């Protein structure tokens, strides 16, 4: 499990390990593009509800684990709290999208 801290008002990267919950699904970060969103631990994510802020993320593999690295600071509605990160992957060739993945752990957003 990875946890990350983010201070509101800063522009910094948050890196979280991606948890692959689809049995047998293995991906090579170079073959996919990703966007992420933060969802409050108190909320249930509904993809059809009001739009969330989706931010482009970098994918990287370190020691056999896949990570999403996102630059936070673009979401004006982000408030202090505890969040989980959801990851949407799209195949760079062909545009195939897979079900949402989640990051292990949580993101703690605090006031600086």
Domain coordinates of the chain in residue numbers? 4-110
- Who contacts 90 (Cβ-Cβ below 8 Å, separation ≥6)? 32, 33, 34, 96, 97
Fold that domain 4-110 belongs to in CATH: Immunoglobulin-like (2.60.40)
- If you ran DSSP here, which 8-state letter would residue 94 be given? T
Cβ–Cβ under 8 Å, residues 111 and 80? yes
pLDDT tens across the length of the chain (112 residues): 568 999 988 888 899 988 876 666 777 888 889 999 888 888 877 777 755 788 899 998 888 888 899 988 767 778 899 999 988 888 888 878 777 888 888 999 998 8
């Amino acid at each position: 499990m990875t946890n990350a801290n983010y201070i509101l008002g800063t522009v910094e990267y948050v890196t979280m390990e991606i948890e692959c919950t689809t049995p047998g699904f293995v991906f090579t970060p170079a073959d996919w593009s990703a966007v992420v969103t933060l969802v409050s631990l108190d909320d249930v994510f509904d993809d059809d509800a009001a739009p969330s802020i989706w931010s482009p993320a970098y994918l990287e593999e370190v020691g056999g684990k896949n990570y999403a690295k996102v630059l936070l600071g673009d979401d004006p509605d982000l408030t202090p709290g505890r969040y989980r990160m959801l990851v949407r992957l799209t195949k760079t060739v062909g545009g195939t999208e897979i079900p949402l993945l989640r990051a292990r752990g949580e993101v703690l957003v605090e006031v600086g």
